[in-house]
């Protein structure tokens, strides 16, 4: 009786935790973050028309065509992120929100006289930075009305995830004649990720029979990889053209730890105690290869239209942490708790508009897609978020001598409908619980930026 009632009491908690897409939210999108003052406000539509140090990321070949040496700083960026889950038919919302710094880019050039017309730059960017925490509690001191047969029950759920991936790179770019540039930006990437899931349930029935159910999972890993971005750029005023390619990443080091536990103690049924810990597990995380292209056109020397698109290849099924399967000696069940990665191929696009009111003041606007690479299979752990995100950006830049200050903002939004989640695993019981027909997951991010660029002598 007690175990069958767990489903009714904890439906809100289970829906919040296991709705597909609440975990590893950023892994499914590759264009969530844009870099550089101008590029961010143009929606990243600068693969073919980079004219500042953001070229080290978007198109290294364009660096050779930039007329002045620059130092770019876009670190003063704040953001508000909200994930919410509307559990249809139940009348309750759960979610997570946070305020903090947005991923940004810092880049600068170093002049080496022996390079001649070649250009050399360094850069650091935060590719991913996410923190999600969902915590829900439920308590029924007198549960007989809502949970027949029970005197009281309590349940609590916790889901936490932290993810940081940083890229450290250098760029070499060389002119090919007066109108073409070729460049490459090799990167060392460092990814740190941890997530925790815990669900606890306690109950006592009218016959003073008690049950405690505890389950949890925790994964923590650090991964080092190498990759490179290659770019080719051309400028024939008033046209700009560009092509880029990103290599798949090559794992060079990393290790992880994973633990899983599932225990049930009951006065009227055999207890089931299970726990497993695996340490120093090899990590093999993959990022996709991609190719991009873009064009920019300026008319009347004042207004520029920017267009860009980038295709990301699929990631075939891969074990990020290949854990050894373990057997629950009490039940005989084999439990596999590894992390499986798989992603579909996607094509993102962007459009931006730039207008120069005079030599010292410009305005920008942009819009770009951010499609989910989620594979519709429950076997995949990365990536998971099923929603597509849309980004609308705008702002302006003013120049004062050698410095240019940029202000602006970005709003991003997306939503998806999740599948109903079985609470007990017993179809007959679940049908009688009146579970929601659907669960809507919503994403909102508001970004405000203040950046500047310095032109050095």
Provide mean pLDDT across the span 297-310: 95
Question: According to the 3-state scheme, what is the secondary structure of 399-455?
Answer: EECCEEEEEEEEEEEEEEEECCCCCCCCHHHHHHHCCCCCEEEEEEEEEEEEEEEEE
pLDDT score of 53: 87
pLDDT score of 95: 61
Q: How confident is the model at residue 327 (pLDDT cuts 50, 70, 90)?
A: confident
Higher-confidence position of 54 and 456: 54
Average pLDDT, the chain: 81
Higher-confidence position of 392 and 97: 392
pLDDT score of 455: 67
pLDDT score of 306: 98
CA trace torsion 325, 326, 328, 334 (10° rounding): 20
Higher-confidence position of 247 and 112: 247
pLDDT digits 0-9 by tens, 190-207: 999 998 888 887 877 777
pLDDT digits 0-9 by tens, 228-247: 999 999 999 999 999 999 99
Q: How confident is the model at residue 296 (pLDDT cuts 50, 70, 90)?
A: very high
Question: According to the 3-state scheme, what is the secondary structure of 150-204?
Answer: EEEEEEEEEEEEEEEEEEEEEEEEEEECCCEEEEEEEEEEEEEEEEEEEEEEEEE
Provide mean pLDDT across the span 134-144: 66
State if pTM tops 0.75: yes
């Amino acid at each position: 009786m007690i175990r069958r009632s767990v489903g009714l009491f904890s439906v809100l908690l289970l829906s919040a935790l296991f709705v597909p897409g609440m975990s590893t939210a950023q892994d499914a999108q590759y264009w969530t973050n844009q870099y550089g003052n101008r590029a961010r406000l143009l929606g990243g539509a600068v693969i073919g028309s980079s004219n500042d140090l953001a070229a080290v990321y978007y198109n290294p070949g364009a660096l050779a065509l930039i007329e002045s040496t620059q130092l770019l700083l876009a670190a003063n960026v704040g953001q508000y992120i909200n994930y919410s889950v509307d559990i249809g038919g139940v009348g309750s919302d759960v979610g997570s929100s946070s305020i903090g710094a947005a991923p940004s880019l810092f880049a600068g050039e170093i002049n080496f006289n022996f390079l001649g017309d070649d250009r050399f730059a360094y850069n650091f960017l935060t590719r991913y930075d996410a923190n999600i925490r969902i915590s829900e509690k439920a308590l029924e001191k007198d549960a007989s009305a809502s949970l027949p047969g029970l005197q009281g029950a309590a349940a609590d759920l916790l889901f936490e995830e932290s993810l940081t991936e940083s890229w450290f790179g250098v760029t070499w770019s060389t002119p090919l004649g007066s109108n073409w540039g070729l460049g490459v930006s090799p990167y060392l990437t460092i990814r740190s990720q941890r997530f925790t899931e815990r669900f606890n349930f306690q109950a006592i029935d009218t016959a003073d029979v008690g049950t405690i159910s505890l389950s949890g999972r925790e994964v923590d890993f650090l991964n080092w990889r190498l990759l490179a971005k290659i770019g080719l750029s051309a400028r024939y005023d008033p046209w700009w053209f560009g092509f880029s390619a990103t290599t798949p990443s090559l794992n060079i080091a990393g290790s992880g730890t994973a633990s899983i536990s599932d225990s049930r103690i009951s006065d009227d049924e055999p207890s089931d105690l299970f726990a497993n810990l695996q340490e120093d597990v090899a990590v093999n995380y993959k990022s996709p290869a991609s190719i991009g292209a873009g064009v920019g056109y300026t008319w009347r020397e004042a207004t520029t239209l920017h267009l860009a698109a980038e295709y990301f290849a699929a990631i075939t099924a891969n074990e990020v942490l290949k854990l050894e399967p373990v057997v629950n000696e009490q039940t005989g069940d084999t439990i596999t708790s590894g992390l499986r990665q798989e992603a579909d191929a996607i094509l993102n696009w962007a459009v931006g508009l730039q207008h120069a009111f005079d030599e010292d003041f410009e305005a920008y606007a942009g819009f770009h897609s951010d499609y989910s690479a989620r594979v519709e299979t429950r076997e995949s752990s990365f990536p998971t978020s099923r929603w597509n995100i849309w980004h609308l950006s705008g702002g302006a830049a003013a120049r004062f001598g050698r410095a240019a200050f940029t202000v602006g903002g970005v709003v991003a939004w997306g939503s998806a409908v999740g599948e109903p989640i079985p609470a007990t695993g017993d179809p007959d019981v679940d049908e009688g619980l009146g579970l929601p027909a659907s669960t809507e997951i919503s994403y909102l991010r508001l970004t405000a930026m203040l950046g500047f660029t310095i032109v050095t002598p």
